[in-house]
A and B are shown apart, each in its own frame.
Chain A
């Protein structure tokens, strides 16, 4: 293998591994819910892995992302570890947020993840502010604002896209169109073309297959470089699909989408299966090696779940800690 091909191969395998890690994390999170071991509920990212991984693999640790209520995939893709993530889902002290945020508020500031957000569209301002901050402080950090098609209904998104365009901020608006906002089809809620909404502000907008990790990654690398060169912002519509319901408790959902539609995406458009097939077809890896990667991840995930289940809750003295930050 030539050095260039080896370098690409390493990057591809890392993308495969990261997508498989997200899937393993979500499978375990779903089981924790179904076995009543997890407080509250959660929103599964399964099916959308190529979006988070394709984008985050084009970023540096010092770049920022903001995430959504369906945020485990973004968190893993930006570099988070299983143990503190499962601890957070279970409300344990060793969680990324000491158990105070939970599934919908995981933040991992060491890797530039400014946090999931339980308000749809709620992080659009934060993301654009992070991009403004990079300009004010003179860093070369780029911010990616992840949001779903549902957030297209929120006015604040258009306010901040307008300012990002006026001020040429280094931000990429990543609209994950998984076809449903909660229990309703996107076409019933969003008039006109989705990309046209950004184009109205003079923002270059792109539509990409969100199941194709290489396509997502290649586009993002290009846009990140342009952002660093002061040519932002950008808008990307990533067409994808969530395998589960709106949340883990949304089981009976044939009233808004058919089982045939779900099966078609799972069987024919799965981002991990299809990328694995391409890797083996290109002879960059053998099927056995891919199996070994997934087995290793499954073991890691199980060990992290067991660790989190046994981990202590925060001390009761934590309840009124961190309401205010200390000031000098």
Chain B
């Protein structure tokens, strides 16, 4: 099968959906001729024109708010938020307006919009261009949140997001834009709320999202060499969350580590770990562990930045400890 980059996969997904549905358009900063700073959207303006690939001023609340209104009136906008960190600028439009409109109208108004943005540190971009803020929007009922972990996932989840009748926030890992994966030429969609089991195992379950999926897979390889069998699960979407697949795995392995690049405190890892503790407690042989980003603003210096994000070695170390019952290293 052919291999394409995550960037190409996103581009293909958007182009296919824009060909299929004339009500889809895309707006954001430097999305047309520039194709975004990451060049993810290059070529789209040549095919669809500036009428459907719309460059906006640097006015994030303004154009996200406009996407909400356009979505309420028959369009299916995709908004491009250049960095996930800019979510803080658009919270009112996303959380007070987009998320609540369907409910507050008693189900009479829909907001079928996609906000595509990114997450991920270790790009030496410092504290305002490196955050992974998906937990903030996952907290708000009415929003769906997708976290693609490869080119294959990115294409299928983006196409599903565009067809969804709700506001969907999709976070791409900005360090993975050039990573290639096998992506079929034939059309496919990936259903929301269906986790992907990347690797079967019997000793410990590693639940990992987005950028941390490859970290978990590498950790599982390290552990396999030592005779420890790790199962790796990618939830794909955290809203909706495929709780059943995660719980079924933990009932089998009796141990779990949840790994996510958002800050550890009050984050995705805490949410998933608590669901495991609540619903699979009597199957557990060890405490459920969380591994998120350190609770510090992301530092610029490479010497410091690399300390803040979970690594394959770190995950393997903690998995080994809980499998061997080593309390000192597990905590």
B72 within 8 A of partner (CB): yes
User: In the complex, are the beta carbons of A162 and B106 less than 8 A apart?
Assistant: no
Q: 1/0 per position for B67-79, CB-CB distance to A under 8 A? A: 1111111110100
A155 located at the interface, meaning its Cβ lies under 8 Å from any Cβ of chain B in the complex: yes
Interface string of B40-66 (1 = CB under 8 A from A): 000000000001100011010111111
Known contacts: A101-B105, A122-B92, A327-B165. The answer to whether A136 contacts B25 by CB under 8 A is: yes
CA distance in complex: A70, B134 (Å): 34
A109 at the interface (CB under 8 A from B): yes
Number of interface residues of B (CB under 8 A): 46
Q: Does A64 lie at the interface of the complex (its beta carbon under 8 Å from any beta carbon of B)?
A: yes
Chain A positions within 8 Å of B104 at CB level: 97, 100-101, 105, 107, 115
Interface pair A115/B74, CB less than 8 Å apart: no
User: A156 interface residue, CB < 8 Å from B?
Assistant: yes
Identify B59's interface contact among A107, A163, A327, CB under 8 A: A163
CA distance A155 to B102 in the complex (A): 25
Q: Is A134 an interface residue (CB 8 A)?
A: yes
Complex CA–CA separation, A137 to B70 (angstroms): 10
Q: Which of A272-328 contact B (CB under 8 A)?
A: 321-328
Q: Please tell me if the beta carbons of A127 and B69 are within 8 angstroms of each other in the complex.
A: yes
Q: Quick check: B106 and A322 within 8 Å, CB to CB?
A: yes
Q: Is A174 an interface residue (CB 8 A)?
A: no
Please report the C-alpha to C-alpha distance between residue A97 and residue B101 in the assembled complex, in whole angstroms. Answer: 10
Q: Which residues of B contact A125 (CB under 8 A)?
A: 61-62, 64-66, 68-69, 93, 97
- The answer to whether B325 has its CB under 8 Å from any CB of chain A is no
In B191-215, the 8 Å CB interface with A consists of: none
Cβ–Cβ contact A137 & B75, under 8 A: yes
Can you give 18 contacting A-B residue pairs, CB < 8 Å?
Answer: A96-B106, A98-B106, A100-B103, A107-B101, A107-B104, A119-B96, A126-B69, A128-B66, A129-B77, A130-B69, A132-B75, A134-B73, A156-B65, A160-B65, A163-B63, A321-B107, A324-B142, A325-B111
Contact with A along B7-29 (1 / 0, CB 8 A): 00000000000000001010000
> Does residue A133 face the partner (Cβ distance < 8 Å to B)?
yes
> CB < 8 Å: which of B57, B69, B166 contacts A324?
B166
Q: How far does the Cβ of B86 sit from chain A's closest Cβ, in whole Å?
A: 13
A326–B166 alpha-carbon span in the complex (Å): 8
Max chain A C-beta neighbours (<10 A), residue from B51, B65, B72, B77:
B65
Q: Is A250 at the interface (CB under 8 A from chain B)? A: no
For A132, the chain B residues whose CB sits under 8 A away are 66, 69-70, 75
A66: chain B residues at CB < 8 Å are 69
Bound together, the chains give a CA A206 to CA B25 distance in angstroms of 33
- Whether the pair A105, B105 counts as a contact (CB closer than 8 A) is yes
Set of chain B residues within 8 Å of A325, measured between Cβ atoms: 102, 107, 110-112, 165-166
Q: Considering residues A64, A109, A325, which has the most beta carbons from chain B within 10 angstroms of its beta carbon? A: A325
Q: Do residues A114 and B165 form an inter-chain contact, with CB atoms below 8 A? A: no
Q: Is the CB of B69 within 8 A of A133?
A: yes
Q: In the bound complex, do residue B25 and residue A163 qualify as a contact, i.e. CB atoms below 8 Å apart? A: no
Q: Is A159 an interface residue (CB 8 A)?
A: yes
Are B105 and A122 closer than 8 Å at their CB atoms?
Answer: no
Q: Which residues of A contact B142 (CB under 8 A)?
A: 323-324
Any chain A CB within 8 A of the CB of B141? yes
Instruction: List the interface of chain A (C-beta within 8 A of B).
Output: 64, 66, 95-101, 105, 107, 109, 114-115, 117, 119, 122-134, 136-137, 141, 143, 155-156, 159-160, 162-163, 166, 321-328
Q: B174 on the interface (CB 8 Å rule)?
A: no
Cross-chain contact B65 with A323 (CB below 8 angstroms): no
Which chain B residue shows the least CB distance to A322? B107
How far is it, in angstroms, between the C-alpha of A123 and the C-alpha of B61 when the chains are bound? 12
* B62 adjacent to A109 (CB under 8 Å): no
**7 nearest A-B pairs in the assembled complex, by CB-CB distance:** A125-B65, A129-B69, A159-B62, A98-B106, A129-B66, A126-B69, A159-B59
> Within the assembled complex, what's the spacing in Å between the Cα atoms of A127 and B73?
10
Closest to A326 in B: B165
A16 to B57, CA, bound (A): 43
Interface status of B155 (Cβ within 8 A of chain A) = no
Shortest Cβ distance from A108 into B: residue: B108
Q: Give the docked Cα–Cα distance between A166 and B63 (Å).
A: 13
**B23: chain A residues within 8 A (beta carbon):** 136-137
Most chain-A Cβ atoms within 10 A of its Cβ — which of B66, B93, B165, B166?
B66
Question: Do B105 and A97 touch (CB < 8 A)?
Answer: yes
Report if B331 contacts A (CB, 8 A): no
CA distance A134 to B63 in the complex (A): 16
Does B242 sit within 8 A of A, measured CB to CB?
no
* B320 on interface, CB distance cutoff 8 Å: no
Q: How far is the CA of A264 from the CA of B105 in the complex (A)?
A: 38
Q: In whole Å, how far is A322's beta carbon from the nearest beta carbon of chain B?
A: 4
A327 and B192 alpha carbons, distance in the complex (Å): 11
* A128-B66, A322-B103, A323-B103 known; A107+B75 contact, CB < 8 A: no
Q: Which one, B64, B74, B163, contacts A137 given CB within 8 A?
A: B74
Q: Which of B143-163 contact A (CB under 8 A)?
A: 144, 163
Q: A156 touches which one: B62, B73, B101, B111 (CB < 8 A)?
A: B62
B85 at the A/B interface (Cβ < 8 Å)? no
Q: Which of B52, B77, B106 has the most CB of A within 10 A?
A: B106
Verify B144–A126 contact, CB threshold 8 A: no
Query: Does B175 count as interface, using CB distance less than 8 angstroms?
Result: no
For B70, list chain A residues within 8 Å (CB): 129-130, 132-133, 136
Q: Which of B56, B61, B92, B108 contacts A107 (CB 8 A)?
A: B108
Interface centre among A64, A66, A115, A166 (most CB of B within 10 A): A115
CB <8 Å contact, B57 and A327 = no
Instruction: State whether A163 and B62 are in contact (beta carbons under 8 Å apart), knowing that A114-B73, A126-B69, A129-B73 are contacts in the complex.
Output: yes
